Amino acid sequence: MCGITGIFDTRARRSVDRDVLVRMNESQHHRGPDEVGVHLEPGIGLAHRRLSIIDLSTGQQPLYNEDGSVCIVYNGEVYNYQALIAELSGLGYRFRTRSDTEAIVHAWEAWGEDCVQHLRGMFAFALWDGNHETLFLARDRLGVKPLHYALLADGTLLFGSELKSLLAHGGLRRDMDHCAIEEYFALGYVAEPRTIFLDAKKLPPAHTLSIRRGQPLPAPREYWNVRFSCANTIGVDEACEELNQRLAAGA
């Protein structure tokens, strides 16, 4: 478990207050007690609390591509990262680490928004592409890793693993979503994309959100869904074998 958070000026390149960003990040200290990292440039700030699991010596975040134009903060684990490293190395990308984090960075460079189609695992990440002035948020297929976001009235976008990181900014209104309250008492949880606050949303599982500076906030894009069909004639033995193969592929 790690914690990610950040601030993005969707309209201009106003300075991000480092103290505010650090405060947001420290609100999630429990998610990543091992290391801390911050990236700041005009109009964008990314922060990370790390729980070290993969590539303990060189997997610090934020992590960058070779020229520093792409930056990522990431929570989770990509199970097929070694195969991705081999594939991306074959495409000419050079790796400075052996981390799944760098595999995502180069997957973005190779495939853009479709990079998530190549990832097998549990993850939530925020990737900043400075050349295109684009912030890309993504969440894994089953929503194992959380990601919240809010667009403030002045065009500032906040995001974080937990709602408390958005509240730590100080600019998020605390008006309650009454439908979310009803959902909580009826279901025992608040379903995506709602949160308990009207102005904050959860990025749904298997969705991405690509925000380019100077453009309106788009709707999240679904990149995967479970398709149910009664027309499948596969037998029990074949289904068990296919399940084993799929589980092995994700291990």
Residue 106 tokens, joined: 């180069």
Are 125 and 68 a contacting pair, CB within 8 Å? no
Centroid of chain to Cα 20: 20
Helix pair angle (81-90, 100-111), 10° resolution: 50
112: how many CB neighbours lie within 10 A of its CB?
Answer: 13
Residues 23 and 193: beta-carbon distance below 8 Å: no
230 tagged catalytic: no
Which residue of the set 2, 71, 179, 230 is catalytic? 2
Q: Is the dihedral of CA 120, 125, 129, 133 positive or negative?
A: positive
Q: What is the 3-state secondary structure (H, E, C) of 114-138?
A: HHHHHCCEEEEEEEEECCCCEEEEE
Catalytically active residues are 2
